[in-house]
A and B are shown apart, each in its own frame.
Chain A
Amino acid sequence: MADLAIDPRMELNPPLVQGGMTYSDVTDKISSIVEGKAPKRWYIGMAVAVPLALLLFACLGYLVATGIGVWGNNSPVGWGWDITNFVWWIGIGHAGTLISAILFLFRQKWRTSINRAAEAMTLFAVACAAIYPLFHTGRPWRAAYWLFPLPNEYLHMWQNFRSPLMWDVFAVSTYGTVSALFWFVGLIPDLATLRDRATTPLRKKIYGLLSLGWRGSATQWRHYELAYLLLAGLSTPLVLSVHSIVSFDFATSLLPGWHTTIFPPYFVAGAVFSGFAMVVTLMTLARWIYGLENLITMKHLENMCKVMLATGMIVGFAYGTEFFIAWYSANQYERFIFLNRAFGPYWWAYWSMIACNVVAPQFFWFQRFRTSIPAMFILSIFINIGMWFERFVIIATSLHRDFLPSSWGYFRPTWVDIGTYVGTIGLFLTLFLLFLRFLPAIAISEVKGVLHQQVSAGQAAPVHGGSH
Chain B
Amino acid sequence: MLEAVLSRLGLPGYESGAQQQVYGVIGEFATPEDLLRAIRTARAAGYTQMEAYSPFPIHGVDEALGAPRSPLGRIVIVFGLLGLSAAVLLQWWTGAVDYKLIIAGKPLFAFEPSVPIMFELSVLLSAFATVLGLFHLTRLPTYYHPLFNYSRHAAASNDRFLLAIEARDPKFRAEEAKLFLDSCGSLHTEVVEA
Does B128 count as interface, using CB distance less than 8 angstroms?
yes
Does B141 count as interface, using CB distance less than 8 angstroms?
yes
| Chain A binding surface SS class | helix
A219-B130 contact given A160-B103, A213-B144, CB 8 Å threshold = no
CB under 8 Å from chain A, chain B span 133-167:
133-135, 137-138, 140-145, 147, 153-154, 156-159
CB under 8 Å from chain B, chain A span 376-407:
none
A218-B117 contact given A185-B134, A196-B157, A224-B57, CB 8 Å threshold = no
Residues A158 and B134 in contact, CB atoms below 8 Å apart = no
Least Cβ distance of A103 to chain B in Å?
18
Residues B94 and A218 in contact, CB atoms below 8 Å apart = no
Residues A162 and B106 in contact, CB atoms below 8 Å apart = yes
Does A136 count as interface, using CB distance less than 8 angstroms?
no
Residues on the B chain within 8 Å of A167, using CB: 116-117, 120
Residues B95 and A161 in contact, CB atoms below 8 Å apart = yes
Residues B53 and A218 in contact, CB atoms below 8 Å apart = yes
| Complex interface bits, B87-109 against A, C-beta within 8 A gives 1, otherwise 0 | 00011001100110101001000
Closest to A191 in B: B157
CB under 8 Å from chain B, chain A span 425-449:
444-446, 448-449
Which of A54-62, A170-178, A270-278 sits within the interface?
A170-178
Least Cβ distance of B26 to chain A in Å?
11
Residue of A166, A195, A197, A449 with most chain B CB atoms under a 10 A cut-off: A449
Residues A218 and B62 in contact, CB atoms below 8 Å apart = yes
Least Cβ distance of A444 to chain B in Å?
8
Number of residues from A at the complex interface, CB < 8 A = 68
Residues B94 and A159 in contact, CB atoms below 8 Å apart = yes
Given A214, A218, A226, A452, which contacts B52 in the complex, CB threshold below 8 Å?
A218
| Chain B binding surface SS class | helix
| Complex interface bits, A133-169 against B, C-beta within 8 A gives 1, otherwise 0 | 0000000000000000100000001111111101100
Complex alpha-carbon distance, A182 and B90, angstroms: 26
Residues B123 and A234 in contact, CB atoms below 8 Å apart = yes
Closest to A27 in B: B158
CB under 8 Å from chain A, chain B span 59-110:
61-62, 65, 67, 70, 72-73, 76, 90-91, 94-95, 98-99, 101, 103, 106, 110
Complex alpha-carbon distance, A466 and B32, angstroms: 11
Closest to B140 in A: A212
Does B46 count as interface, using CB distance less than 8 angstroms?
no
Number of residues from B at the complex interface, CB < 8 A = 66
Residues B154 and A181 in contact, CB atoms below 8 Å apart = no
Does B13 count as interface, using CB distance less than 8 angstroms?
no
Does B14 count as interface, using CB distance less than 8 angstroms?
no
Given A162, A184, A192, A230, which contacts B103 in the complex, CB threshold below 8 Å?
A162
Residues A445 and B56 in contact, CB atoms below 8 Å apart = yes
Residues on the A chain within 8 Å of B30, using CB: 463, 466-467
Residues on the B chain within 8 Å of A462, using CB: 31, 159
Complex alpha-carbon distance, A174 and B126, angstroms: 11
Least Cβ distance of A32 to chain B in Å?
13
Which of A88-96, A118-126, A237-245, A305-313 sits within the interface?
A237-245
Residues A193 and B94 in contact, CB atoms below 8 Å apart = no
Residues A192 and B157 in contact, CB atoms below 8 Å apart = yes
Listed by A's residue number, 18 A-B pairs whose Cβ atoms lie within 8 Å are: A27-B158, A157-B101, A158-B99, A171-B116, A174-B121, A181-B127, A185-B134, A195-B157, A209-B143, A212-B140, A213-B140, A216-B54, A217-B147, A220-B138, A221-B61, A222-B67, A234-B127, A467-B185
- Leading 7 A-B pairs by shortest Cβ distance: A23-B159, A196-B154, A212-B141, A158-B94, A167-B116, A221-B57, A227-B134
* B residues in contact (CB < 8 Å) with A: 10, 29-32, 34, 51-58, 61-62, 65, 67, 70, 72-73, 76, 90-91, 94-95, 98-99, 101, 103, 106, 110, 113-114, 116-117, 119-121, 123-124, 126-128, 130-131, 133-135, 137-138, 140-145, 147, 153-154, 156-159, 185, 187
* A residues in contact (CB < 8 Å) with B: 22-24, 27, 149, 157-164, 166-167, 170-171, 174, 177-178, 181-182, 184-185, 188-189, 192-193, 195-197, 208-209, 212-227, 230-231, 234, 237-238, 241, 245, 248, 444-446, 448-449, 452, 462-463, 466-468
